[in-house]
Structures are given as structure tokens and as C-alpha cells.
Amino acid sequence: MKLKYLLILSISITTLTFVGCKDDNNDDPSGGGDPGTDTDFTIPTYADDYSAIASWSNRNDWNLANVHDPSVAYYDGYYYMYGTDASYGNEAQGHGHFQGKRSTDLVNWSWVGGPFYDPPSWVADSLNAIRSRMDLDAIAAGDISYGYWAPVVRKVNVGGQDILRMYYSIVIDNYIKTGAVNTSSNFDGSWTERAFIGMCESTDPAGAVWTDKGFVTCSSSDRGLDYNRSSLNDWNGYFYYNAIDPTYSVTPEGEHYLIHGSWHSGFALLQLDPTTGKPLNTLGNPWASSASELTARYGERVGTRTAGSRWQGSEAPEVIYKDGYYYLFMAYDGLDVPYNTRVVRSTNIEGPYYDITGRNFTNGAGDCYPIVTHPYKFNLSYGWVGISHCCIFQKENTDEWFYMSQGRLPVNVGGNAYSNAIMMGHVRRIVWCPASTSDPDDLWPIALPERYAAVPDYGTITQDSLVGTWEHINLAYNYGQQDGATALTLKSDGTMSGALTGSWSYDATKKQLTLGDVIVCVEREVDWEASPRRVTLVYAGTEKNLNATYWGKKSK
């Protein structure tokens, strides 16, 4: 069970004061064009600490406040985003499930309702039908403890009509043996019950009109009916697959797949019927006597962080297809602070998936790179933690790709013991970075260090505009720690000092800056930590043997 999510559900909130934002400043430091030519561009002014408007009555002012595990799809002129039922102070509880937001520009978002208010009746029916086949007593509908997590939404065409199709997770937090609600005092020597994935569809998401299509799959075990647990400290998982965190992919050949998984043994690949959105083959009972027997029915395992572990810290798969590769993004570690994002890829949706160094993620060959996001801190700010469980999507009618997840403030910001429960939606552009100077055409996706603000194209970013002082972050894997910034000076003679030494060069056509042996991609974005916020230059990139990512922004 994804126990770390329970941290969200029991938070009482106090108010804090946080550095907000002041007047807009559209200055472009790159020397690449006239910043006054685009009068429609306004730097976002919404504050990162939204505690002052966190109440449900202020939901129309939330913008990207209260975002967790987002998924985005473009439909009828809007980008629609839906996420986990989580909010600062639990303000959204009791107001429907999988509430969302929509936007036309990916910067300003308005609230929209979710697909339903009450637990779908099929969940209790499916649960108790399984329990009956396991010779267990039914759990009364009123005694079932539900959790609503991590939907994925996609636009698909069914019968010539575009629809939004959503797969959603509902977790049952009762013990298997007795059906008692999961508390330490109720512990009965068994694991907690299974999660379910359901599906619903809409042609009117603006009106929150959805048709529920019911059961798709559920958590499944390779240990038969042996659901016993030695103690609350036993993490040797009954379930092989945890039916949480679905992603939904359609191949260029028109095949539809669901990939899901959270901790436990890894990620399952389940083929779907394109018309119904349900499993192509009959699943049967969600237990088996071996992994091979189970996976033949409930999906092949396409990835695992640690092959021999029943409780390994990877979850939230997200798969996209680009230029011959399926890129599988995933979250590592606990969500409150350590959460970070990795990516692997394959030429086949069934795998095997490899990281940038050639490690085989499908076989569980260890931690994979590159790092796409990680807790970080630029100077003069508190920085961000818990940046993962992403969605990846393409801007309509462009070749621009975007990363979206929540970012959390660190613990005890401004003296607020609950500041880590502030979850701001982060939209970031993705840059496609060379794996090394010797493999310039082997491109990997990395998120930019600053959030998207729709900065206009002010012209060519020149080599001269890069000369000066930068805040450089070696975005490396440091469990539960923010990677901090140090000064890097790029000198006009092509040398650098501070965080890095040696030489640098720049290809203005490709917008690629070479820092020693690492190629990074340069873009314009907003410096969100500045007061007032302003346009600046940023970079992101990696190298296949670096086991880290370079992030930077120009400060002078």
C-alpha cells in the first residue's frame, strides 16, 4: 500500500508569510531582441505560498495551487488537468473526486469539477466479489475506507468522436483478513486490501459530465491466498502489482496499453481494447501461485528499480512516444521531500527499457539516469522539494514538450510546521539534450530549472549574452536533500571559473552550451525567485557518465 500518501490526509494548517511576487519586469538579459515587442506577455504574479487562499471558497483563485499527481490532455481548445485528491488543510475533501483545472496557455489555470462525488458502486461490488472467492466475509459498503489517487487522462477517438478517457485509482484501506479499517490498533496480521483502477469518459469536461465505465484492473498477487503479514514493520508485500498510478499510451500502430504500478514489484503493461478501453484479454482471479502465472494474465513487468524487492521506491510511470522511442518517466522515493524523476527508454513499448548508461530497467539493474527533476534550491529562495509524479505532454500543434508535477515547499518554511503540505503545480518545458559530446544526436529529455511562463521569442540567444555570472546546480542524487546553487562565471575568453573550471563554447543555432564535457541546452524563462520576477537565461543538460544533471540560470 502506498502509505506515504497518508501523510497528506491528516494535516492541520497554520498561516505563514512567504516571499511573494511584485511588479512585472519584462527585461530580457540575453541581448537577443527587444522585450517590448510583445505587449501581451505578462510575467505570472501568483505567489508560491497560497495558504492565504487555500480555503475551498477561494478555489477559483487557486490557479496552480493544490496540484498533486497531475495529468494533462488537450480537448476542445483547453488543456485539462486532473490529479490526486490532495489539498492543503484537506480543503477539497468532500467536494468531489479528481477535481481539475483547465488552461489555454499552460500558465493561467481555472478550476473545474471532477468526474464524480461518491465512490463508484462497482468498487465495493468488485472488492466483495473477490473477497467471496477468497472465502472472506464481505466488508459493508459503509465500512470501506477509500482513497482517490493519480488519474491519467488522454484524448482518444472512438467511433469518429474525440472523447476524454480517464483511468483513475481507488485504494481500499482495510485489512484483508477481518476487513477492519487500517489502523495500528486494528492490525490483524494481514496486509491491507487491494487498489482498483477504473475508467470514465467525457465529451463535456467543462461541465464535469463523465460516464463511468467501471472496473479495469486491480492489485494482484503471486502468493496465492497467503496474505499474512508478520508485523506492521514487514514490507515484504503481498501484492506483486499495485493497481495505482496508471499511464495510458497509444502506439503508432494503434495499439492501446495501460502501464501502472507503485512500489511493490514494479510496473505492469496491460493491453487494452481501443474501443472499450478495457483489458483486451480476460484477467481472471487477481491471485496466482507464481509470478509467471500472474503476469500471463495481469500484464508483463516492464520495469523495476530492484528486481528482488517487494517494496522498492519507484512509482508513477508515464510513457510517451517520440522519434522511435518510448520514454518511460518514473518517480523515485518518498513524496514529501526526496521525490525525484528519472527516465528510461525502449524501441518497443514492451521493453526492455534502458537508461542513458545502458542499465536495463526492465531487469532491475539498479538506479537509472538521467535525473529529470530533483529537490533543489537557487539562491535567495527556499527552493522546492517533492518534485515528481509527472505527466509529459506535447503542446498542441507544436514540437514542444512539457513536464508537469507538483512541487512542495520544504519543511518549516517561515516557521510553518506544515509548509511541506503546500503543493504548487509546476509546468516546465523539456529540452532534448545530447548524451555526450561524442553522441551529439543521442537526445534525452530533461526539464528546465525554471517553470514555464510563456516567454516570447526575443530572437537569437547569442554567445555574448551568456558571458557573466550564473547560479549553477549540480543536480545529483542526494536522498532527501536539496541540491544547492553555486556561482559559475562564463568569461568572454571562453574560460569559466567557480562551480566549473575549464573552457566553454556555444552553438547558437542549436542553443547548446558546452561546459567542459557536458552539453546543456539554453532557453529563456522567468526567474521566479527574483523580486520582482524577470526574464533570464537558463540551461539544463546531462552527460551519460555524469549520474547527474546540470541546471543553471543567469544572475548577472
Q: Return the SS3 of 325.
A: strand
- Phi, psi (rounded to 5 degrees) for 36: -90, 5
pLDDT-wise least confident of 13-22, 54-63, 270-279: 13-22
Contact 322, 303 (CB under 8 A): no
Dig out the grid coordinates for 321 from the structure. 512516444
Contact 18, 413 (CB under 8 A): yes
Residue 491 has pLDDT above 50, yes or no: yes
Q: Cβ neighbours of residue 423 under 8 Å, at least 6 residues apart?
A: 65, 66, 67, 68, 86, 87, 88, 386, 406, 407, 408
Question: Which tens digits make up the pLDDT trace of 368-405?
Answer: 999 999 999 999 999 999 999 999 999 999 999 999 99
Query: d(Cα 140, Cα 176) in Å, to the nearest integer?
Result: 13
pLDDT-wise least confident of 6-20, 201-215, 272-286: 6-20
Residue 239 is classified by DSSP as: -
Query: d(Cα 113, Cα 246) in Å, to the nearest integer?
Result: 21
Nearest to 190 by CA among 218, 224, 219, 232: 232
- Write down the pLDDT at residue 48: 94
**Strands 376-377 and 483-490: what pairing?**
parallel
- Write down the pLDDT at residue 467: 98
- Site of grid cell 548577472: 556
**Helix, strand, coil tally for the chain in percent (to 5):** 10, 40, 50
Element containing residue 313 per DSSP (H, E): none
Contact 78, 112 (CB under 8 A): no
Element containing residue 124 per DSSP (H, E): helix 121-133
Q: Where are the domains of the chain?
A: 3-447
Residue 23 has pLDDT above 80, yes or no: no
Q: Averaged over 41-54, what is the pLDDT?
A: 94
- Write down the pLDDT at residue 414: 87
Dig out the grid coordinates for 87 from the structure. 489539498
Residue 5 has pLDDT above 60, yes or no: no
Would you give the distance in Å from CA 332 to the centre of its chain?
Answer: 10
Provide the residue type at 45 as one letter. T
Q: Which of residues 74 and 9 earns the better pLDDT score? A: 74
Residue 22 has pLDDT above 80, yes or no: no
In DSSP terms, 512 is beta-bridged to 507, 521
Q: Averaged over 259-282, what is the pLDDT?
A: 97
Would you give the distance in Å from CA 506 to the centre of its chain?
Answer: 32
- Phi, psi (rounded to 5 degrees) for 184: -60, -35
Question: Which tens digits make up the pLDDT trace of 126-146?
Answer: 999 999 999 999 999 999 999
DSSP string, 450-518: S--------S---HHHH-EEEEEEEEE--TT-PEEEEEEEE-TTSEEEESS-EEEEEETTTTEEEETTE
Q: Vertex 297, ends 201 and 318: CA angle to 5°? A: 50
Share of the chain above pLDDT 70, in %: 93
- Write down the pLDDT at residue 13: 36
- List, edge to edge, every strand of the sheet that includes 439-447: 385-394, 401-408, 423-436, 439-447
Across the chain, mean pLDDT equals 93
Rounded to two decimals, the pTM is 0.94
**Strands 512-515 and 518-527: what pairing?**
antiparallel
Q: Averaged over 421-446, what is the pLDDT?
A: 98
- Site of grid cell 530549472: 449
Share of the chain above pLDDT 90, in %: 91
Residue 30 has pLDDT above 70, yes or no: no
Residue 25 has pLDDT above 60, yes or no: no
Contact 413, 16 (CB under 8 A): yes
Query: d(Cα 35, Cα 286) in Å, to the nearest integer?
Result: 59
- Write down the pLDDT at residue 445: 98
- Write down the pLDDT at residue 28: 55
Residues in the chain: 556
Query: d(Cα 190, Cα 237) in Å, to the nearest integer?
Result: 10
Element containing residue 295 per DSSP (H, E): helix 291-298
pLDDT-derived band of residue 4, with 50, 70 and 90 as boundaries?
A: very low
Query: d(Cα 406, Cα 394) in Å, to the nearest integer?
Result: 18
Contact 71, 405 (CB under 8 A): no
For the chain, report the end-to-end CA distance as a whole number of angstroms.
Answer: 48
Rg of the chain (C-alpha set)? 23
Half-sphere exposure of 182 (CA within 13 A, CB side): 20
- Write down the pLDDT at residue 26: 45
Residue 17 has pLDDT above 50, yes or no: no
Nearest to 411 by CA among 369, 374, 382, 450: 382
Half-sphere exposure of 392 (CA within 13 A, CB side): 29
Give the per-residue SS3 of 70-119: CEEEEECCEEEEECCCCCHHHCCCCCCECCEEEECCCCCCEEECCCECCC
Q: Would you identify the CATH topology of the domain 3-447?
A: Tachylectin-2; Chain A (2.115.10)
- Write down the pLDDT at residue 20: 32
- Write down the pLDDT at residue 39: 54
pLDDT-wise least confident of 26-40, 205-219, 360-374: 26-40
- Write down the pLDDT at residue 40: 75
- Write down the pLDDT at residue 21: 32
Contact 175, 80 (CB under 8 A): no
- Write down the pLDDT at residue 438: 97
Query: d(Cα 442, Cα 424) in Å, to the nearest integer?
Result: 33
- Write down the pLDDT at residue 14: 36
